[in-house]
A = this chain, B = another copy of it.
Amino acid sequence: MRVAAVGEDGTLHSRARAETPKGALGSNVVDLIVQLAEDCRAELTNRSDVLAVAAAVPAIIDAETGVLIKLPNLRCLEGVNLRDELSRRLGVEAFLENDATAAAIGENWLGASRGLDDSICVTLGTGVGGGLIINGLPFRGKDGTAGEVGHICVEPEGVQCGCGGRGCLEQYASATAVTRMAREDGLMFDTAIDVCDAAAAGNDIASGVFRRMGSCLGIGLAGLINVLNPEMIVIGGGVAAAWDHFIDIVRKEVMTRSFREPAERVKIVRAELGDDAGILGAARSALSR
């Protein structure tokens, strides 16, 4: 859990972080967020410089009420009105943004896709998230769920997904999926980073895992490119570290499966802001509101 004091120009003036407590109550998690935010504020010369608090949350957000609806990876916050809680306890206006949408906003503000009208940010982490920038603005959809590119089907009869579907992109391109596919092929690693290291060291099985991952990612992105004709797709998250092991296959699938004009238009690039994309995007989202 990371908090920062962000200036209007995107400067990070102070930072604080802590492990998300496992098995905690929602109120404990909120307490911790508030504590980290207070720590950040305390480091500023003038604590009244803080205009607002903005949170990037791995959740579906009820935009009207500020209630968090669905957090598969942080269930204890389901039903919590994080917007009201943060505003009340920190004494400033509060804003919420979905974490993947926040990352897309951050990259569009100060990162790889800065200034572009139409871009998609794909985060290859524990799961596969996504955020859309359309006509220069974040596109959230009526329920705030737009951008779930991790649940595009790339294998109709494929691996069962936690979402209820089968063969979702997330089952082939997330860190979890990379580790699972490596194990299926006999490489008993604990993390996607291990698989990446093995591929870098010339292990053919590990390389094969990333070829399969890249093929699935390319199939998913090719569909997005045909539907949205974006100028850029920005890829971030931990698995992006394996870039050289999958990007050629991603591009090959896109060139094969997408129409020529949008395939030639789209730049597929690595995210530039790392873990700060979400923090910066949430701040930008609050500033623009």
Contact = CB atoms under 8 A, between A and B. Distances in A.
A227 B229 contact: no
A227 B130 contact: yes
Interface in A130-147: 130, 132, 134-135, 139-147
Contacts of A134: 134-135, 139
A221 to B, nearest CB: 10
Given A155-B156, A227-B132, A256 B142 contact: no
Interface in A250-281: 256-259, 261-262, 265
Given A142-B118, A165-B256, A148 B226 contact: yes
Interface residues of A, number: 49
A70 B260 CA distance: 10
A97 interface: no
A221 B146 CA distance: 14
Given A118-B142, A141-B118, A151 B230 contact: no
A97 B168 CA distance: 34
A219 B165 CA distance: 10
Contact of A231 (B142, B147, B148, B256): B142
B164 A226 contact: no
A149 interface: yes
A165 B140 CA distance: 29
Interface string A162-184: 01111010000000000000000
A222 interface: yes
B152 A154 contact: no
A101 to B, nearest CB: 11
A135 B136 CA distance: 13
Interface in A89-133: 117-118, 130, 132
Contact of A156 (B147, B154, B224, B228): B154
Nearest to A163: B259
A256 B153 CA distance: 11
B219 A141 contact: no
- Minimum-distance CB pairs A-B, first 4: A141-B229, A165-B257, A152-B223, A148-B226
